[in-house]
Amino acid sequence: MKVRIGLTALALVMSGPAFSQEVVNVFNWSDYIAADTIAKFEAETGIRVVYDVYDSNDVLEARLLAGSSGYDVVVPTSSYLARQIPAGAYQPLDMSKIPNAAGLDEKLMAAVAAHDPGNEHAVIYMWGTNGIGYNVQMVAERLGEDAPTDSWSLVFDPEIASQLADCGISFLDSSSDMFPVALQYLGLDPHSTDEADLERAAELMESVRPHVRYFHSSQYISDLANGETCVAIGWSGDVLIAMDRAEEAGQGVELAYTIPKEGTIEWFDMMAIPADAPNPDNAHAFINFILQPEIVADITNYVFYPNAIPASLEYVDPDIAQDESIYPPEEVMANLFPSPVYDARTDRILTRLWTRVRTGQ
Ligand code: N2P
């Protein structure tokens, strides 16, 4: 108890005006950090954290490429990082200032080296999958026991989606998350940049568009939890956060997360430092702090995404460590594919098609 009071007092003193010059500006995904991570960092280092959130790689990218974002640490998905590095968006990390990076899983870091050659610019923050979150009871009431909750057809087959429209379907508002899974469902290459393929994926999504209540990439957490919607294409941990909130509310909302059998995206979100970060030293300190096994385990326990520090598993809640929707088993992993890297031409096609899908015209 004494220690806790001591730290809080220290944090108060250090965040006071006398120390206000030491700052780190962090731009991270919403619902993506433990409740006490920032306070712990501030108490330990005396560096004040200015924390801002987004729910879209496209929003982050627009800020970064406009320059002078003012951010010191950002968390792009590795497939976006891949095209942002050659655009000069990031500085190489000084690994001598991130000794805890030695604890990163070598296999996972080797996998993301496909997007960041030599792992020079970024380290893994959390990773996860795209899948379907659904309300067990509402879906069963409408589709019976045969509801294809293990398949993308739940949301991409108009016959099925139309029966769920009244309880509310939501899609991620992210073309780079939606096109690959739509292509995969169609049996096409999920990484295809062929305009005809992308057109087919758009037509598929347009065919269910009348049954989709909204497109949003974070709103579905509370809506699923409250029973306001019944099905969401979403990110693994976010659906599990909804599940956790539903349980806590005790209103009898039972949710589940499914990784569709056709396969899905496995993505990695990366901590990186913008080229023009105003406080690069503090950025390195923040990244190093996060990579401590106990700290990163706290985050995993709070947001239900796996991290890439194997030594953290000892501190991860056993229910989470054994949850196959968080840590997919081998046979499911074999069905996952990395998020695609889109070039500027494909990006333009996707933006145009996505506007058409979203607006339904
Ligand atoms: C965090 C969602 C991040 C997942 N709430 C998308 N990369």
| pLDDT tens per residue across span 79-111 | 999 999 999 999 999 999 999 999 999 999 999
HSE-CB of 137 using CA atoms within 13 angstroms: 7
Q: Which of 269, 300, 302, 339 to mutate to test the pocket of ligand 1 (most atoms within 8 A of CB)?
A: 269
Angle subtended at Cα 27 by Cα 24 and Cα 30, rounded to the nearest 5 degrees: 130
Q: How far is CA 133 from CA 36, 239, 242, 245, 290, in A?
A: 27, 6, 9, 13, 28
Taking the C-alpha atoms of residue 308 and residue 292, their distance in angstroms, rounded to an integer, is 11
- The finding on whether 342 has its CB within 6 A of some atom of ligand 1 is no
pLDDT digits (tens, 9 = 90+) for 252-299: 999 999 999 999 999 999 999 999 999 999 999 999 999 999 999 999
- Please name the residue that has the structure tokens 């108009």: 158
- The finding on whether 31 has its CB within 6 A of some atom of ligand 1 is yes
CA dihedral 274, 62, 233, 186 (to 10 degrees): -110
What is the atom index within ligand 1 of the atom nearest the CA of 267? 7
Write the CB contacts of 270 (distance below 8 Å, at least 6 apart in sequence): 75, 76, 77, 78, 81, 112, 116, 122, 123, 124, 125
pLDDT digits (tens, 9 = 90+) for 10-35: 555 555 445 457 999 999 999 999 99
Tokens of 67: 């320059």
304 and 34 Cβ atoms separated by less than 8 Å = no
Tokens of 63: 């800020």
pLDDT digits (tens, 9 = 90+) for 146-203: 899 999 999 999 999 999 999 999 999 999 999 999 999 999 999 999 999 999 999 9
Residue whose CA is at the smallest distance from ligand 1 atom 2: 29
Q: How far is CA 87 from CA 71, 137, 184, 270, in A?
A: 17, 48, 29, 17
Q: How far is CA 29 from the centre of its chain?
A: 7
Q: Which residue has the higher pLDDT, 11 or 225?
A: 225
| Predicted structure pTM score | 0.93
Taking the C-alpha atoms of residue 337 and residue 231, their distance in angstroms, rounded to an integer, is 23
CA-based nearest residue to 33, from 233, 295, 355 = 295
Q: What is the pLDDT, as a whole number, of residue 360?
A: 81
